[in-house]
Amino acid sequence: MKARKVHDAKQPKVTLKTVAERVGFTPGTVSAVLNNSPASRSFPQETRNRILAAARELNYRPNFFARSLRVKRTFTVGVITEEIGDPYGGMVISGIEQYLRRRDFFFLAVAHRHDPQLLETYSHLLLERGVEGFITVDTSINETPALPTIAVAGHRRVEGVTNLILDHRSAAQMALMHLKNLGHQEIAVMKGPTSSSDSEDRWQAIAQVSDELGVSINPELVMRLKGDAVTPDLGYVFAQRFLARKQGSFTALFAYNDASAIGAIRAIHEAGLRVPDDISVVGFDDIASAAYNNPAITTVRQPLQKMGELAARTLLKQIEDRETYVPEITIVPEFVLRNSTATARRSGKQVELKLA
């Protein structure tokens, strides 16, 4: 093992010139192909394939700083999110990071916590750092940005911004049809906080689909979560208030997301009721902990990591290939059946809900 380390240490550094000598082209030609510059598009595909194959065989690793100075670029993307570390944003950013890393791009991330002044300050800061584009996560954009921008969960139509959104109508149809087929007629609904980009679109989809399916949503069984971040604590506190109120019985709860569903399930259990025997609970997002909760949560899955990858891929196509932006990309959800839902009971304990 020691001999190998010494041998590896004496290996000459692989440079751009090394790759050029291997394939018999000039360093300029090799550089153009490896950097995917506009000039490289005039080269035959066979030439490009030979250069890329040689770079892989030689394990060529470009010097980032030299590359940046040579092409006058930073190869850096700015990621603007509501909060760093929450399950939703964390999975999206993980997808962004994985794709950018494969393309030798970096990213700088900032969290604005729904503070408009902080959002503006951080946006300018990222521009000063030379980012080549933006990806926003659960962030409302009101003005046309100075750089190509992909907005994950963006719903406002802004020139130059590609909104990457979930098909909330399909999501609502999956969840409500599932509960209807189980015989649930009294369904409580958690509306998201006003600070969340998806809140209104998701609620409008639920209201529309419930009418189409003949599933009546009693206004007394609807409430809006209040707070900047939808956490288990928020779902727990509101579920406690629901259960303490003597208005409106319900046999199922459609939570705003999995985090609020986890909190609500705990409150239901502490009230002496059982999930799903007394109350069925459907979540949203399919965060990692949803499958390991007790009971495991039936939920509408957003492919969050794939959404992050798609956001990064779409942005780099605009930056590198000068592709024209599209106003919207829609993602199809999936329904994940687990243990938090069951056939509705028509007798037994009555579950009480607080007014919205």
Residue 314's CATH number: 3.40.50.2300
Q: Which residue has the tokens 């024209």?
A: 324
How many independent structural domains does the chain possess? 3
Q: Quick one: 211 and 226 in the same domain?
A: yes
Q: Quick one: 114 and 179 in the same domain?
A: no
Q: Quick one: 205 and 240 in the same domain?
A: yes
| 258: in domain | yes
pLDDT at 238: 82
Quick one: three-class SS letters along the chain?
Answer: CHHHHHHHHCCCCCCHHHHHHHHCCCHHHHHHHHCCCHHHHHCCHHHHHHHHHHHHHCCCCCCHHHHHHHHCCCCEEEEEECCCCCHHHHHHHHHHHHHHHHCCCEEEEEECCCCHHHHHHHHHHHHHCCCCCEEEECCCCCCCCCCCEEEECCCCCCCCEEEEEECHHHHHHHHHHHHHHCCCCCEEEEECCCCCCCHHHHHHHHHHHHHHHCCCCCHHHEEECCCCCCCHHHHHHHHHHHHHCCCCECCEEECCCHHHHHHHHHHHHHCCCCCCCCCEEEEEECCHHHHHCCCCCEEEECCHHHHHHHHHHHHHHHHHCCCCCCCEEEECCEEECCCCCCCCCCCCCCCECCCC
Contacts for 41 with CB less than 8 Å, ≥ 6 apart: none
Quick one: three-class SS letters along 46-62?
Answer: HHHHHHHHHHHHCCCCC
d(CA 138, CA 114): 9
Q: Quick one: 125 and 244 in the same domain?
A: no
| 312: in domain | yes
- The crossing angle, in degrees rounded to 10, of helices 45-57 and 16-23 is 120
Identify whether the C-beta of residue 108 lies closer than 8 Å to the C-beta of residue 79.
Answer: yes
d(CA 175, CA 280): 11
Q: Quick one: 50 and 81 in the same domain?
A: no
pLDDT at 2: 44
| 344: in domain | no
Smallest CA-to-CA distance from 280 within 350, 213, 344, 190 is with 344
d(CA 49, CA 266): 57
| 347: in domain | no
pLDDT at 70: 58
Q: Quick one: 41 and 92 in the same domain?
A: no
| 229: in domain | yes
**First and final C-alpha spacing in the chain:** 67
pLDDT at 339: 97
Identify whether the C-beta of residue 158 lies closer than 8 Å to the C-beta of residue 144.
Answer: yes
Q: Quick one: 110 and 219 in the same domain?
A: no
- For residues 83, 85, 91 and 94, what is the CA-based torsion angle, rounded to 10 degrees? 100
Smallest CA-to-CA distance from 313 within 87, 169, 152 is with 152
Smallest CA-to-CA distance from 271 within 299, 263, 292, 231 is with 263
Q: Does the pTM exceed 0.85?
A: no
Q: Quick one: 134 and 210 in the same domain?
A: no
Q: Phi first, then psi: what are they for 194, rounded to 5°?
A: -65, -20
d(CA 174, CA 184): 14
Q: Quick one: 160 and 244 in the same domain?
A: no
pLDDT at 350: 46
Q: Quick one: 176 and 298 in the same domain?
A: yes
Q: What is the pLDDT along the chain (356 residues), one digit of tens a residue?
A: 444 444 444 567 888 889 889 999 988 888 888 877 767 778 888 988 898 899 888 888 766 556 655 556 888 999 999 888 888 999 999 999 999 999 889 999 999 888 888 888 999 899 988 899 999 999 888 888 889 999 999 988 999 999 999 999 999 999 999 999 999 999 999 999 988 889 999 999 999 999 999 998 989 889 899 877 778 998 998 888 878 875 558 899 999 999 999 999 999 999 999 999 999 999 999 999 999 999 999 999 999 999 999 999 999 999 988 888 899 999 999 999 999 999 998 643 444 443 33
- The crossing angle, in degrees rounded to 10, of helices 232-244 and 258-270 is 40
Domain around 149: 76-166+304-331
| 63: in domain | no
d(CA 274, CA 339): 12
Considering 260, 285, 303, which residue would you say is the last residue of a domain? 303
Q: Quick one: 141 and 174 in the same domain?
A: no
Considering 303, 319, 339, which residue would you say is the last residue of a domain? 303
Q: Quick one: 273 and 195 in the same domain?
A: yes
| 160: in domain | yes
| 50: in domain | yes
pLDDT at 344: 94
